[in-house]
Structure 1
Amino acid sequence: MSLDAYYDRIGDHHLAALWTRLSHLITPQPRSDCRAHRWRYTDVRPELLAAGEVITAEEAERRVLILENPGLPGSSKVTTSLYAGMQLVLPGEVAPSHRHSQSALRIIVEGSGAYSVVDGERVTMETGDLVLTPPMTWHDHGSDGDGPTIWLDALDIPVVGFFDASFLERSTEAARAVTRPDGDSLNRYGAGLLPVGSRPSGGASPIASYPYSRTREVLTRLAKDSAPDPWHGVKVAYTNPLTGGDVLSTMSAWAQLLPSGWISAPYRSTDATVLIAVEGRGRTHIDDQVFDWRAGDVVVTPSWSWVRHEADEESVLMSYSDQAAQRALGLWREERTGARPE
């Protein structure tokens, strides 16, 4: 019997020979169809505003333009494991309340006066804020502001889909009742002090919003008091105050300040990462490609790609990835080259 005849025969039994597929299943290094790419905010914003003219937030449930990786067409993925989209809420609108299995974090790009009600707490949205929606927490979005509010949505939709574990529930109320004081979660858990008898369960941070004003102050002080890391500049991780770990079980998030004129040393890691410029301008080198960026631009860096940044002026980048999940599974790896810290 020939090999081809053998393969045909076992195929009839829904079997396959591992030796014909092993090199594709277990690779010497990460291999992905995810591509490096940049979305310019000046391109995305007009299309979002146009969407606001043809469909309401209520009709759409979530009026979002998906940032789909060009190497993963039709997948609704920004990386192999993560989702990204730009969402618009206009004055007076409410994006109706729902909850789902997927974890979400939101980075506010533009606007003032908008809010998200997360698990009964009304969270205001200002540029640069990081807002969390842990799994199965009720949340709706609205705006009392005078202009559009736009933010970057980051969800672990592909991760949950991989496990076939997705659930979505819609509320009978468009907007859930606010049952907690403004700033309640930050007041309870954001100062390194834990009120006695108040210890929420679950792997997600209990803080609903990390205000950019606080993050920027920390970055500024660190930049003044110490030299930038050769690979990351002045970089901080958003953390769960109860554990010191990542803000969500599946996603990690960071903010980093790049001093004016600063050039980083090359770095790579196994977590494909989504970057958004909050302030400043500069460029990011990803392997042999270069992407310049300004505030609002989004750049995706594939797994195990060499990355370095250059800042034309003092800049702040925020980013997220699936590093939390990779660490939990014992998969995450990094590599640094070039300059070494003294």
Structure 2
Amino acid sequence: MNAPHPAAALRQQLYSDMSPFNLTPLWEVLHALVPPQPSSPCVPALWKYEQVRPFLMRAGDAITAEEAVRRVLVLENPALRGQSSITQSLYAGLQLILPGEVAPSHRHVQSALRFIVEGSGAYTAVDGERTTMQPGDFIITPSWTFHDHGSEAGGPVVWLDGLDIPIVRFLDAGFAENDTRKSQTVARAEGTSLARFGSNMAPVRHEAPFGATSPIFSYPYERSRDALQKLERDAPVDAWDGVKLRYINPLTGGSPMPTMATFMQRLPAGFDGKPWRQTDGAVFSVVEGQGEVLIEHGAQSQRFEFGPRDHFVIPSWHTARFKSAAGCVLFSFSDRPVHQALGIHHEERLS
């Protein structure tokens, strides 16, 4: 048996001797720390709503909204079980509220979005203003604003929650506070924020009410859908995205939230898209219609067929390609603003 090479023995002794001083050799991990290209531990995943919904309804029997504070089933990435994350930087879950319930008021540093999946007539209140939820609406809960949810609907209402919980956790910057009230006092009429800031106009003298977050906290689906339909009819259809629009903060032109970007896109009937990949992992909610997405990474390939209210995730630097025979509408969100702020965002549109 050959003796270990002298250099190898010296190295191992060095590692052993310096370990108690909390020192480790960079050269043993350099290639993992600085990889030649992104190598996310996350995997693509699809949540079929017909499979998820029965568990949501069972949760409604098992615990009240007030007991749970937020009755949510977390969409966990299969490769990140136990971390309450759909990607390494994003959280997603499906929240249920039943007729007459109130999810009590609280606030937290984490920014949140709500995308309404099923039912009408529930509401969310932010900073003294309520907005009634309708399917396809995109609603923001800005960082550190009191918010509560309630329902005056005749049946269950379900929405997608998207938060930057993993980002805030990584930065050790999280704070939270319960309100002394179960529900906020409504101080402004519904639609006030949209009237002030949602018509390419703004009050002459104002300050941004939510700091870096959009002053509009409810973006109705009917407006988004109308814009997509007009562009599909009158403008060129993009070979990669179909007709895709991004929601904006009207005061800045940037993303509605400092950590999350949101998008709505229409894939026309017969769409057979070209492949693309990007460094921001994205979470999708199917608003209407059917389609499929092919997701590839290295030698791995997965094809998801999706329909209304299904959800799926495309991790960072995974190549994706959309098809839709009948046409469909997709909502999505990602951590793109963080990438852009750090100057590290990268995307490729492949042929």
**TM-score category, normalised to shorter length:** over 0.9
1:241 — aligned with what?
250
Match of 1:62 among 70, 93, 96: 70
Residue of 332, 335, 350 corresponding to 1:319: 332
Determine the structure 1 residue equivalent to 2:279.
270
Tell me the TM-score normalised to structure 1 length: 0.98
Give the SS at the match of 2:280: coil
Match of 1:92, SS state, is coil
Given candidates 111, 117, 120, the residue that maps to 2:125 is: 117
Structure 1 letter corresponding to 2:175: F
**Post-superposition offset of 1:268:** 0.4
Q: Give unpaired runs (5+ residues) of structure 1.
A: none
Q: Measure, in 2, the Cα distance between the counterparts of 1:241 and 1:285.
A: 34
| Partners of 1:86 and 1:16 in 2: CA distance | 42
- Secondary structure of 2:15's aligned partner: helix
Could you tell me which amino acid in structure 2 is paired with residue 184 of structure 1?
A: T
Which secondary structure state, in structure 2, belongs to the residue aligned with residue 12 of structure 1?
A: helix
Distance of 1:305 and 1:311 partners within structure 2: 20
1:306 aligns with 2:319: yes
- What does 1:48-197 correspond to in 2, within 5 Å? 48-197=56-205
Q: Distance in 2 between matches of 1:67 and 1:90?
A: 20
- In structure 2, the partner of 1:44 is 52
Kindly provide the amino acid, as one letter, of the partner of residue 247 in structure 1.
P
Code of the residue aligned with 1:305 in structure 2: it is H
AA aligned to 2:41 is D
Partner of 1:220: 229
| 1:210-230 alpha-carbon deviations (Å, 9 max, x no partner) | 000000000001111112111
SS in structure 2 of the partner of residue 3 of structure 1: helix
Q: Paired residue for 1:2? A: 10
What TM-score results when the alignment is normalised by the length of structure 2? 0.95
Q: How many residues align?
A: 338
Q: Flag as ranges the 4+ runs of structure 1 deviating above 6 A.
A: none
What does residue 309 of structure 2 align with?
Answer: 296
Deviation at 1:312, TM superposition (A): 2.2
Quote the Cα distance in structure 2 between the aligned partners of 1:212 and 1:148. Answer: 19
Deviation at 1:31, TM superposition (A): 1.1
Does 2:30 correspond to 1:22? yes
User: Structure 2: 5+ residue runs without aligned partners?
Assistant: 1-8
Letter matched to residue 232 of structure 1: D
- Residue in 1 aligned with 2:262? 253
Distance 1:138 1:224 in 2: 41
Query: Matched residue of 2:272: which SS?
Result: coil
1:163-208 per-residue CA deviation (whole Å, 9 max, x = no partner) reads: 1011010011110111111101111101001111123151110101
Q: Percent of aligned pairs with the same residue?
A: 50
2-structure distance, mates of 1:337, 1:33: 23
- 1:205 matched to 2:214? The reply is yes
The 1-side partners of 2:246 and 2:333 are apart by: 10
Q: Which amino acid aligns with 2:346?
A: R
Pick which of 1-10 and 239-248 moved more. 1-10
More displaced 10-residue stretch of structure 1: 193-202 or 206-215: 193-202
Secondary structure, aligned partner of 1:221: helix
User: Structure 2 CA distance, aligned partners of 1:199 and 1:11?
Assistant: 53
Which residue is 2:348 aligned to? 335
Give the superposition deviation at 1:10.
Answer: 1.0
| Alignment-mate amino acid for residue 109 of structure 1 | V
Task: Kindly provide the amino acid, as one letter, of the partner of residue 306 in structure 1.
Answer: T
Deviation at 1:232, TM superposition (A): 0.5
C-alpha displacement of 1:239: 0.2
Q: Counterparts of 1:247 and 1:102 in 2: how far apart (Å)? A: 14
Q: Distance in 2 between matches of 1:203 and 1:136?
A: 12
| 1:230-263 C-alpha deviation (Å, 9 max, x unpaired) | 1100000000000000000000000000001101
